[in-house]
Amino acid sequence: MENRIEKYVRPNILALKPYVSFRDTFDTSDYTKLDANENPFGDYNRYPDSTQKVLREKLSSIKNVPSTQIAVGNGSDELIDLIIKIFCRPNEDKIVVMKPSFAMYEFYASVNGNEVIELDLDENFQLTKEEFLAKTKDSGAKVLFLCTPNNPIGNSISDLEFYIENFDGIVVIDEAYIEFSAKASMVSKLNQYDNLIVLQTLSKAWGMAGLRIGMALASEFIISLFNRTKSPYNISAINIEKALIGLDQVETFETNLAYLIEQKELFYSQLSQIESVIKIYHSDANFFLIEFKNAEEIYLKLVENQILTSKRFPSIPNALRINLGTAEENQKLIQTLKTI
């Protein structure tokens, strides 16, 4: 299985020797540490565990995936960057993305000098299998990024296994918003597809965006490539501590998630009654893509009232992306829209 995936990996990455912190290879908690040029004083004077062992074990228990199949990144952004660096030779290889979708796939490909093949979504913001096959077959593209639920629309992409089975390369399923969706996670398919990487995050449903904790779930071989290429101490000790505390608060997480899903139904109902709203697109995430009659005017008026939303035009005409807040924040938005 691993040999099949090796052909997609840059040769210099396969030959790369990872940085290994000797103290993280066994329990050194009782050792006198004079090896890393650290200051003996201070609350956070020691480098964090470079392997994030405890955090990965905690995530393992939640995701029901072995810790050896989990890599932790400084947000999903770092993991996207690493995926492109691992599999795509600068100025030679290509990636494939949906259009519209999360902009950072294209951003990191541009940084690495990689060409981007765009798959235009149809009127329902779904992929077209015929276009997918036409654009990717014999393209030499190394990585396919599929965001589902997709940002900035919020809808889930159908027939994911078709795209995994028909792409000659690595398929990345970005599930940043999966906890808000009734759809099943593709994590359950990891043992079925050796070319699959699933990205998830603590930024959205877990409410830890400020900690910048993303995770990649994949085969042990692919995870070994992440560990080989990542920065030695890419997650700070404070962020690891805070993430572990947050992950222990499962009841709070479930209560807040249920609250947001309940608010989402009410929010949709109230938005539907706003005169300037033309269409609210279906969403499996914690936000709505909304088409307005006068999106530019709406956006500016909301800013005047100290409400921030996300402009999606001109790429998506007359559209704003608006995420769920508290009941009070949602009502402030609704009442402001009614006055415009």
- pLDDT of 223-272, one tens digit each? 999 999 999 999 999 999 999 999 999 999 999 999 999 999 999 999 99
Contact in structure between 68 and 191 (CB atoms under 8 Å): no
Provide the pLDDT for residue 274. Answer: 96
Tens digit of each residue's pLDDT (9 = 90 or more) over 190-229: 999 999 999 999 999 999 999 999 999 999 999 999 999 9
Q: What is the domain extent for residue 306?
A: 251-339
Q: How far apart are CA 242 and CA 20, in angstroms?
A: 24
Q: What is the mean pLDDT of the chain?
A: 96
pLDDT at 306 exceeding the cut of 70? yes
Contact in structure between 118 and 145 (CB atoms under 8 Å): no
Q: Which two tokens stand for residue 5?
A: 């995936």
Q: How far apart are CA 49 and CA 234, in angstroms?
A: 10
Assign 23 a pLDDT band (cuts: 50, 70, 90). confident
Provide the pLDDT for residue 140. Answer: 95
Q: Of 248, 270, 302, at which residue does a domain stop?
A: 248
Tens digit of each residue's pLDDT (9 = 90 or more) over 269-287: 999 999 999 999 999 999 9
Residues 150 and 297 in one domain: no
Contact in structure between 79 and 199 (CB atoms under 8 Å): yes
Assign 27 a pLDDT band (cuts: 50, 70, 90). confident
Any idea what the CATH number is for the domain that residue 309 is in?
A: 3.90.1150.10
Q: Which of 183, 77, 210, 154 is closest to 323 using CA atoms? A: 154
Residues 173 and 54 in one domain: yes
Mean pLDDT to the nearest integer, 88-102:
97
Residues 199 and 271 in one domain: no
Distance separating the N- and C-terminal Cα atoms of the chain? 59
Residues 38 and 97 in one domain: yes
Q: Of 213, 248, 283, at which residue does a domain stop?
A: 248
Residues forming beta bridges with residue 329, ordered by sequence position: none
Domain count across the chain: 2
Q: How far apart are CA 286 and CA 284, in angstroms?
A: 7
Cα angle 60, 230, 215; round to 5: 30
Q: Rg for the chain (alpha carbons), in Å? A: 22
Mean pLDDT to the nearest integer, 179-196:
97
Q: How far apart are CA 15 and CA 170, in angstroms?
A: 19
No. of H helices and E strands in the chain?
Answer: 12, 11
pLDDT at 2 exceeding the cut of 60? no
Q: Which of 135, 133, 150 is closest to 99 using CA atoms? A: 150
Residues 285 and 202 in one domain: no
| Weakest mean pLDDT among 19-23, 40-44, 64-68, 110-114 | 19-23
Provide the pLDDT for residue 1. Answer: 45
Assign 108 a pLDDT band (cuts: 50, 70, 90). very high
Q: Which two tokens stand for residue 80?
A: 């996207």
Measured in whole angstroms, the distance separating CA 80 from the mean position of its chain's CA atoms is 8
Residues forming beta bridges with residue 174, ordered by sequence position: 147, 199
